[in-house]
Chain A
Amino acid sequence: MTADPFRITLRRRYRSERIFFLTLRLAALLIGLVMLEIFGYIFVNGYRAISWEFLTTPPSDSMTKGGIMPAIVGTFYLTVGAVAFALPIGVACAVYLTEYARQGTFVRLLRIGINCLAGVPSVVFGLFGLGFFVVFLKFGSSILSGALTLGALILPTIITAAEEAIKAVPQTFREASLALGVSKWRTVSRIVLPTALPGILTGSILGIGRAAGETAPIMFTAAAFFTARLPSSIFDEVMALPYHVYVLATAGTAIEETRPLQYGTVLVLAALVAGINLFAVLIRGYMRRGKRW
């Protein structure tokens, strides 16, 4: 049987199709494996270091023994402070952009500003925090300076999430409220915001996850190499989990000896951040499914 040219081309076309999809699958598989390797490695090496004592005692013997409790507490204060600063501003900003603003130069300026802020490298936020909060406002290296710097860093994340959540509230809700003679602000505060709350929360949880994992912004604004006692005011320096990982891994005198502590700290940090993110994703998925309008 003579070869049918059409059939040959077709066969060739199907061959490229198979190769293409195989490549796609391999790429996805490889990325999945890399992630498994990273998380697996961290878990396998880290879980032995984790104990109740590790989580509840401060480091001792110049960081070669003991736990990471002050770092956990410090990270907690810093992230809570950052969200307390960024959440109200972020939500107000989102409300303005979605409910009040009319398209124009001012709104364009705001949008460009938010976009650019989202792209500023974290170490530049650190420089800003050092120049402004630590030196200019004389807050010193403190929880306050670090939390405000982290707050500025997560502001764009929170604005974007809040905006999406508010936009997802059906227009009919607003119309019904306005038709009853309710003022615009009451409509926003009593109808729109409560409906958008789950989405806003997801955004702020993602913000918490981001703030908890950042190192560069707090290096010069809040983080201490070692503090024996817990902070007593917002003007105290604190230890923080990400900075502690960096310090243990690079600046110790006995880097090899402290490896177990390092793995333990890395596992706590990675699990904390992954847990926070997973939580946010789950809430989001749940809320999307649960919608009845």
Chain B
Amino acid sequence: MKRQAIERIIHGLLAAVAFTAVAILAMIVLFLFREGLPVFREVSVRGFLFGHEWYPTYDPPSYGIWPLIVASVAVTTLSCLIAVPFGILFAVYVAEAAPPAVKGVLKAVMELLAGLPSVVLGFFGMVVIAPLLQETFDLPTGLNIANASLILSIMAVPTIASISEDALYAVPREFKEASYALGATRYETIVRVVIPAALSGISAAVILGMSRAIGETMVVLMVAGGAAALPTSIFDPARPMTASIAAEMGEAPYKSGHYHALFATGIVLFFLTLAFNLVANYISHRFKEVGSATL
């Protein structure tokens, strides 16, 4: 009897502790709103999201984050254009084509690259990529959208590659065997059978990679250039949302309109990445059951 009571208490305690993750998430939302919503006393939601002018320190200030949103979307899209093909090709090579020894090395390469602190990559962008871009294209500054996208793509490749690789491994061997038995070459089997079967996992990988890129802070803070104007070319400097928050929070007076506006930018960022993650989650769960048993 006593033992059962103890068991029940432990069960309850563990459930309570397990709830921490959800509680933290709820607290994040709560505090973002608590500190962010007051800005809407000064600016309408529409004016905040679509206003073209981000002059938070002017008098009167103007809190329009449209240029920041455009900058975030621009660097993310561009970086994915580079990272998606490389990430998928890399995953296919590791999962389907690489000899075992090479595979081990490449997986280690991925882990190291994934673990590289973003501030280190940002630094690399500043001292290596920026002068390179500036000289090659004869630009006023090498700190711009192109540079940030390049560095972000280096960060996104490991994410996309490792999740795609898992998806490719999960494709049942019978699929490949059936394809070979019909006389298909390895190329035809990979492109027509294996990749389509793993497509949901690969899509999830791409979406997660994009979500990482939107939320990445240090790289864009250091190499995107920081101009809060609407960019007109990929060689323009820009200021994505994350960079704006990180750069300005230190100077924004506590409880000022600027402070609240930065938290409100955090709300936008939070829900944007949340949407990406939920979609990725949905896709990978919804279309997961492609095993031989379901056919």
Which residues of chain B are near A92, meaning CB under 8 Å?
13-14, 17-18
**In the complex, are the beta carbons of A42 and B270 less than 8 A apart?**
no
Nearest Cβ on chain B to A151's Cβ, whole angstroms: 9
Known pairs A24-B97, A127-B32, A128-B27; A274 contacts B21 (CB<8 A): no
| Contact B250 A242, beta carbon cutoff 8 Å | no
Q: Give the interface size bracket for A toward B.
A: 35 or more
Chain A, range 53-93, C-beta contacts under 8 Å to B: 89, 92-93
Do A124 and B270 touch across chains, with their CB atoms under 8 A apart?
Answer: yes
Q: Which residues of B contact A114 (CB under 8 A)?
A: 21-22
CB of A155, distance to nearest CB on chain B (Å): 6
A128 adjacent to B281 (CB under 8 Å): no
- Which residues of A121-149 are within 8 A (CB) of B? 121-128, 130-132, 135-136
Contact A274 B115 (CB under 8 A): yes
Q: A34-B154, A117-B21, A156-B21 are in contact. Are A42 and B124 (CB under 8 A)?
A: yes
Residue B273 at the A interface, CB < 8 A? yes
Alpha-carbon distance A100/B94, docked complex (angstroms): 37
Cβ–Cβ contact A101 & B28, under 8 A? no
Q: Is the CB of B269 within 8 A of A124?
A: yes
Q: Which of B1-52 contact A (CB under 8 A)?
A: 3, 6-7, 10-11, 13-15, 17-22, 24-25, 27-28, 31-32, 34-35
Instruction: State the interface size on chain B (CB cutoff 8 A).
Output: 86
Would you give the shortest CB distance from B158 to chain A, in whole angstroms?
9
Q: Mark B162-204, 1 if CB is under 8 A from A, else 0.
A: 0000000000000000000000011110110000000000000
A138 vs B92: C-alpha distance when bound (angstroms):
50
Which of A116, A185, A245 is the one whose CB lies under 8 Å from B10? Answer: A185
Contact A20 B187 (CB under 8 A): yes
Q: Within the assembled complex, what's the spacing in Å between the Cα atoms of A9 and B11?
A: 66
Q: Kindly state whether residue B242 has any CB partner on chain A within 8 Å.
A: yes
Q: How far is the CA of A21 from the CA of B102 in the complex (A)?
A: 14
A-facing residues in B273-295 (Cβ within 8 Å): 273-274, 276-278, 281
For residue B157, CB closer than 8 A to chain A, the reply is yes
B238 proximal to A (CB < 8 A)? no
Measured CA separation A128–B25 after assembly (Å): 10
The main secondary structure of chain B at its interface with chain A is helix
Cα A28 to Cα B108 with chains together (Å): 13
A273 B116 Cβ-Cβ under 8 A: yes
User: Any chain A CB within 8 A of the CB of B236?
Assistant: no
Q: With A and B bound together, what is the CA distance between A89 and B188 in angstroms?
A: 48
- For A26, give the chain B residue with the smallest CB separation: B89
- B31→A120 contact, CB < 8 A: no
**Measured between alpha carbons, how far is A43 from B266 in the docked complex, in Å?**
36
Which residues 30-68 of A have a CB within 8 angstroms of B?
30-32, 34-35, 38-39, 41-42
Q: Is B141 an interface residue (CB 8 A)?
A: no
Option from B31, B32, B93 in Cβ contact (under 8 Å) with A24: B93
A222 CB-CB contact with B under 8 Å: no
CA distance A287 to B259 in the complex (A): 49
From B17, B108, B217, contact of A121 by CB (8 A): B217
Could you write out 27 A-B pairs with CB less than 8 Å apart?
A13-B185, A17-B188, A25-B97, A28-B102, A38-B121, A96-B14, A114-B21, A117-B24, A121-B214, A122-B215, A123-B217, A124-B32, A127-B249, A183-B6, A184-B7, A185-B7, A215-B119, A219-B249, A219-B250, A220-B249, A245-B120, A249-B127, A249-B222, A262-B123, A269-B119, A276-B115, A278-B108
Given A31-B90, A219-B246, 20 new contacts (CB under 8 A): A27-B90, A31-B157, A93-B17, A93-B20, A113-B22, A119-B208, A119-B215, A122-B217, A124-B273, A128-B31, A135-B254, A159-B21, A213-B116, A215-B118, A216-B246, A246-B222, A249-B127, A259-B127, A269-B117, A270-B116
- What residues of chain A have their CB less than 8 Å away from a CB belonging to chain B? 13-14, 16-17, 20-21, 23-25, 27-28, 30-32, 34-35, 38-39, 41-42, 89, 92-93, 95-97, 100-101, 106, 109-110, 112-128, 130-132, 135-136, 152, 155-156, 159, 183-185, 209-210, 212-216, 219-220, 242-243, 245-246, 249-250, 259, 262, 266, 269-270, 273-274, 276-278, 281
